[in-house]
């Protein structure tokens, strides 16, 4: 059961990977927020497939295996939604899966490192970078 008032967040793959790689900074802090259960991480099957596919690439094999496994365990606990539409909004076609997830989940935020590929807002979801999300959440 989802706690009432829990803020829902969709995380773009670039934020996920950067957050694992750096272990510090805004992107890592966003991962820490959702992995600690302080915000509800929303995913769809296409997003999970993208996350796992990217993390399995040879260039990412040197990532901290413990941190990767922790993040994967958190992904498995995320709210899994099933998009009911196919969008063509983002300049980068595969990024539409994040908007689809956000819309179906009713997410307040979509966090990305590529904000230029998304509209600033989509059906009630604000699209912003990791630093901006952290600043907004501190105000709440």
Question: Where residue 15 falls among pLDDT bands split at 50, 70, 90?
Answer: very high
- Check residue 137 and give its pLDDT: 87
86 lies in which domain range? 8-139
Asked if residue 112 belongs to a domain, the reply is yes
Query: Does position 3 have pLDDT exceeding 70, yes or no?
Result: no
**Assigned token pair, 35:** 């992995």
Asked if residue 1 belongs to a domain, the reply is no
Domain count, the chain: 1
Could you give the angle at the alpha carbon of 16 between the alpha carbons of 88 and 4, nearest 5°?
Answer: 80
Asked if residue 71 belongs to a domain, the reply is yes
Residue 87 belongs to domain with CATH number: 3.40.50.1010
Question: Where residue 90 falls among pLDDT bands split at 50, 70, 90?
Answer: confident
Query: Does position 2 have pLDDT exceeding 60, yes or no?
Result: no
Q: What is the mean pLDDT of the chain?
A: 91
Distances (CA, A) of 123 to 15, 41, 85, 108, 119: 21, 18, 13, 9, 10
Distance between CA atoms of residues 31 and 51, nearest Å: 13
Which of 53 and 2 is assigned the larger pLDDT? 53
Asked if residue 94 belongs to a domain, the reply is yes
Query: Does position 1 have pLDDT exceeding 60, yes or no?
Result: no
Query: Does position 7 have pLDDT exceeding 70, yes or no?
Result: yes
Express each pLDDT in 95-111 by its tens digit: 999 999 999 999 999 99
Asked if residue 21 belongs to a domain, the reply is yes
Asked if residue 61 belongs to a domain, the reply is yes
Q: Is 128 helix (H, G, I), strand (E, B) or coil?
A: strand
Quick one: how far is CA 91 from the chain centroid? 18
Task: Give the DSSP letter of residue 60.
Answer: G
Asked if residue 3 belongs to a domain, the reply is no
- Check residue 92 and give its pLDDT: 79
- Check residue 131 and give its pLDDT: 96
Is 0.75 surpassed by the pTM of this model? yes
């Amino acid at each position: 059961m989802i706690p009432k008032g829990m803020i829902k967040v969709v995380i773009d793959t670039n934020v996920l990977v950067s957050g694992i790689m750096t272990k510090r900074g805004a992107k890592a802090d966003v991962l820490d927020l959702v992995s600690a259960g302080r915000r509800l991480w929303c995913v769809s099957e296409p997003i999970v497939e993208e996350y796992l596919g990217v993390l399995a690439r040879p260039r990412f094999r040197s990532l901290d295996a413990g941190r990767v496994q922790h993040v994967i365990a958190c992904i498995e606990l995320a709210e899994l939604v099933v998009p009911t539409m196919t969008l063509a909004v983002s300049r980068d076609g595969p990024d539409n899966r994040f908007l689809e997830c956000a819309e179906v989940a009713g997410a307040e935020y979509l966090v990305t490192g590529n904000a230029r590929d998304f509209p600033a807002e989509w059906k009630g979801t604000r699209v912003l970078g990791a630093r901006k999300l952290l600043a907004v959440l501190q105000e709440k």
